[in-house]
Amino acid sequence: MGDRSHARSSPQAVNDRRAGREGLTGAEALLETAAGRGVSVCFANPGTTEMPLVTALDRKPGLRAVLGLHENVCTGAADGYARIARRAALTLLHLGPGLANGLANLHNARRAHSPIVNVVGDHASWHLPFDAPLTSDIAALAGTVGTHHEIRDRAAIVATTRRAVDDAHERGGVSTLVVPADFQQQVAQEPPRDERPRPAPARGIDIDAIEQAARRVRDAGSRAVLLIGGDGLSCTGQRAAARIAAATGAVLYSETFPARAERGGGLPPIDRLPYFPEAAVRALGHATAVVLAGAREPIAYFGYEGTPSRLAPQGSVQPLANVGEDVERALVMLAELVGGKDPQRYAGPPTAGLPTAGLPTAEPEPDAVLTGQTVGAALARWLPENAIVSIEGGTCGYPFHTASANAVPHTVLTNTGGAIGQGLPTALGAAIAAPERPVIALQSDGSGLYTAQALWTMARESVDVVVLIAANHAYNVLRTELARHGSAEPGPQATRLTSLGEPAIDWAALARGFGVPASTAATVGELRGAFTTALQARGPHLVQMMM
């Protein structure tokens, strides 16, 4: 009686009743807290221990639920969403195995610095000690990709949810919020009150680093390289970089796998640092100063006998701003310090000996067969204004990126962490974040097969995504790697392990199976027709490019 009469007389309780929050379940309180902190989308693949949250999604409007058929679709979509929306989505995952299924794209999200909040339902707190079949070590899994926030008490739901969401936004990273089923279902002891998104913390710059970088760039002249990543790849950041290059002769590169880069529309032609270490070492070899603007020190993707891990010449590395700082502002300041006032066009790095050399500059003929080069060159010319291009796989990805310097303005998203199966989910999430923008998924077939289920969610949500599959029926990058390992003529098992033929996968059939209209193209002319149709149609469309 005492507690109850106390609650009745407290002003807060009166306000709560007026606001209808008195009887919120834990699940409702969790969602209301997250929504109040600016979260509006939940990429979900729920199970039994998330049913109160599923029910609450209908009781607490403001959070749009998007179903994925596989958790890695959900986490990859949340990554794509965060890169475009610049805020976290929730994922809703079922216990440890559900989180495990989503880890690969969370690994990529970690490397992209994307804020994501995984909500993982757990067994009822009183049931957990009995080691039921689905029990596993959720904390260990969560720790591999970010921070782990466990709700151990129903009184802690609101505060822990707040912490998980704020942590994701402040760090630019992955938080995992584990909530036992009983706490979801019971009335929350502390209803959320007037949540609002915490203002983004002001991101700093390091003036000393900027001044030091200015001295080194001036001293090095054309032997300076600016390696740009993170927010440095915004329009403002890139224009500042071009002013620096114009004033000093410095060469500009983007990190090899940017989370998000603006591109085209008169932006300077900043190519990606080459993938293979020999080419990257050649690109950087002349440099006495490699200035890091939102990029990490360039490191070889893999270690190969006889090539170094560190790609920049010894002693050349000079930090300007790290990815957590205000990279854009640091670049603008650097431009001012080196006297780069002229927004003149940067001509790009010397191409001799680099993979960009020899790219066709005119649109390929209609009867040209589809290769990485012809697809890249053609797509760069056909791109609709303001498109988002999710690139996964090298076959078309590298040639397109180089060619697209002169395209209309667009945004590029790439696979930041190397866990393949990222391109289709990321395109989905980007389309949910920006329904008004056309989205192109330029996707290699091998990697696309890891998360082909994303096609179904594209169909269900009717997002305007054009999926271009480079169907070469091989793990082509592994063929290259076999050769690098001295297997110029791989044996029968190695050949089969790098082939997606026998039988050839029919992407048009897969797409139709998932409810996505599809067509097949074998020439540039056919691709142009299919691409035009796909762009005009509502909802997703897949084009299988036979290569």
Q: Which of residues 464-493 bind a copy of itself (CB under 8 A)?
A: 477-478, 481-482, 484-487, 490-493
Which residue stretch of 120-128, 318-326, 344-352, 520-528 sits at the interface with a copy of itself (rule: CB under 8 A)?
Answer: 120-128
**In this structure, what token pair is assigned to residue 341?**
């006032």
CA pair distance 89, 79, nearest whole angstrom: 8
Does residue number 155 form part of the binding site for a copy of itself (CB under 8 A)?
no
Residues 249-268 that bind a copy of itself (CB under 8 A): 257
Give whichever of 110 and 243 is closer to a copy of itself, judged by the CB atom. Answer: 110
Binders of a copy of itself among residues 21 to 60 (CB under 8 A) are 44, 46-49, 51-52, 54-55, 57-59
Closest distance of CB 58 from a copy of itself, Å: 3
Contact between 143 and a copy of itself per CB under 8 A:
yes
Cβ closest to a copy of itself, residue 359 vs residue 494: 494
∠ CA 259-515-432 to the nearest 5 degrees?
35
- In the bound complex, what is the minimum distance in angstroms from residue 474's beta carbon to a copy of itself? 12
Q: Which of 67, 159, 235, 354 binds a copy of itself (CB under 8 A)?
A: 67
Residue 161 or 416: the one with the smaller Cβ distance to a copy of itself is 416
# residues near a copy of itself by CB under 8 A: 98
Member of 382, 394, 506, 520 binding a copy of itself (CB under 8 A): 506
Confirm if 390 and 464 have CB atoms less than 8 A apart. no
Rounded CA-CA distance 218/438 in Å is: 41
Question: From the CB of residue 144, how many other CB atoms can be counted at a distance below 10 Å?
Answer: 14
Q: 384: helix, coil or strand?
A: coil
If one asks whether residue 279 binds a copy of itself (CB under 8 A), the answer comes out as no
Buried b (16+ CB within 10 A) or exposed e, 365-402: eeebebbbbbbbbbbbebbeeebbbbbbbbbbbbbbbb
Structural tokens at position 369: 């067969």
Position among 97, 339, 348, 525 found at the interface with a copy of itself (CB under 8 A): 97
419: contact with a copy of itself by CB under 8 A: yes
Could you tell me the smallest distance in angstroms from the CB atom of residue 362 to a copy of itself? 35
Q: Write each residue from 303 to 342 as x if it is in contact with a copy of itself (CB under 8 A), else as -, in one continuous string.
A: xxx---xx--------------------------------
Whether 111 and 79 have beta carbons less than 8 Å apart is answered as no
Shortest distance in whole angstroms from residue 536 CB to a copy of itself: 20
Among 507, 521, 526, 547, binds a copy of itself (CB under 8 A): 507
Rounded-to-integer distance, Cα 123 and Cα 104, Å: 24
> Is residue 512 involved in binding a copy of itself (CB under 8 A)?
yes
At 429, list the tokens: 């999430």
Contact 223, 289 (CB under 8 A): yes
The answer to whether 319 touches 243, Cβ cutoff 8 Å, is no
Q: Which of 418, 435, 532, 537 binds a copy of itself (CB under 8 A)?
A: 418
> Contact between 538 and a copy of itself (CB under 8 A)?
no
Positive or negative, the Cα torsion across 121, 127, 133, 139? positive
Q: What are the helix (H) ranges across 221-299?
A: 235-248, 277-284
Q: Is 83 in the site for a copy of itself (CB under 8 A)?
A: no
The residue whose two tokens read 């990543």 is 229
**Per CB under 8 A, 107 contacts a copy of itself:** yes
